[in-house]
Homo-oligomer: A and B are copies of this chain.
Amino acid sequence: MRKVEIIGYGYYVPSETVEFDGQIRHRIPEGSSETQLSMAVTAAKNALSKAAIDINEIDCIVATSAVGIQPIPCNAALIHEQIAKGTSIPAMDINTTCTSFIAAVDAISYLIDAGRYNKVLIVASEKASLGLNPKQKESYELFGDGAAALILSKCEDGSAGVIYGKQNTWSEGAHDTEIRGGLTNYLPKYYVEGTEEYFFDMNGLKVLRLAGKKLPKFFEDFQKESGYTVNDIDMIIPHQASKALSMIMSRLGIPKDKYIDIVPEYGNMVSVAIPHAFMWAIDHGKIKKGDTVLLIGTAAGLTASAVLLKY
């Protein structure tokens, strides 16, 4: 076990909502001054406040959004400017799209365990509503905006930590979930009114099929390799990928009371969905100190990531 503990967390979800068939999505309304960056800053400040520490105690800022704020510099540097200007705290981005937060907790736990850093602030933030295509009903009605931040710290007494982490990527799904335009593949200058190249483009059925094919083996391997079965895990935080969540969970043999499903209330908040659902579960008494918690999800790639924590 890599000895790390969560000493603070915070999130931000816009209060404004839209509704589709009774499913609530929190989205920043057009014309609001809230941005991907401002939400990240609020979440980060909430996490620092919960941990009751000052930014100067942070040794590294890691941003884990799927989508960037600007092509240059990285998101973490822009967040740094808002909360850590005047310090020399290193800033870096880690990206595996929707599961970036898992990838960061997993990777950073090695650095903390080895003594490189003591306290790391991990921040995800997404303004998904900006990229939605009204012509794609499924994704248009699925996504939500928000941000979540967590402070991972060395756990001196070894009572908490990362038990096991795993990632796989199957790139036959690389184009099932994508935004093609905006960077070097399709430059902004090729934008013409009505083009869909700059919108989020998801083939939900193909993603579901590929995930359905790959996830059971991934989860089986995870249990074998980690030595933890579903029975040994107190709570599972799946990526809030879609309304098909319960179907996927049942396919993985995970009983209803063992996982968090807040898709009806929040939808898919991209890279924020996993940390937000995790924090929601803690705040709602579904996870307590000492519990064994599994964060697991799929991401554009197609990537599957999972990290097992002793909270």
A67 at the interface (CB under 8 A from B): yes
* Chain B minimum-CB-distance residue to A93: B95
A residues 22-72 near B (Cβ < 8 Å) are 35-37, 60-61, 66-72
Are A301 and B91 in contact, CB atoms less than 8 angstroms apart?
Answer: yes
For A130, what are the chain B residues with a Cβ–Cβ distance below 8 Å?
A: 184, 187
Q: Are A85 and B172 in contact (CB under 8 A)?
A: yes
Shortest distance in angstroms between A306's beta carbon and chain B's nearest beta carbon? Answer: 11
One digit per residue, 1 when the CB lies within 8 angstroms of any chain B CB and 0 when it does not, for chain A 107-119 equals 1001101101000
Which of B72, B90, B299 is close to A179, meaning CB atoms less than 8 Å apart? B72
Q: Is the CB of B181 within 8 A of A188?
A: yes
Structural contact, B94 and A94, CB atoms closer than 8 A? yes
The answer to whether the Cβ of A250 comes within 8 Å of any Cβ in the partner chain is no
B94 touches A183 (CB 8 A): no
Specify which of A68, A73, A130, A191 lies most central, judged by the most chain B CB atoms within 10 Å of its CB.
A73
Counted per complex, copies of this chain come to 2
| Chain A facing B: main interface SS | mixed
B-contacting 9-mer, from A8-16, A75-83, A260-268, A287-295? A75-83
- Give how many A residues have a beta carbon under 8 Å from the other chain's beta carbons: 73
Name the residue on B nearest A181 (C-beta). Answer: B188
* Contact present for B70 and A180 (CB under 8 Å): yes
Asked if A227 CB lies within 8 Å of chain B CBs, one says: no
Residues of B within 8 A of A200 (CB): 72
Q: Which residues of B contact A74 (CB under 8 A)?
A: 66, 95-97, 300-301
Contact (Cβ within 8 A) B72 A300: yes
Tell me, rounded to whole Å, the shortest Cβ–Cβ distance linking A279 to chain B.
Answer: 22
Pull 5 A–B residue pairs with CB atoms less than 8 Å apart, ordered by A: A61-B169, A77-B97, A90-B303, A91-B96, A94-B94
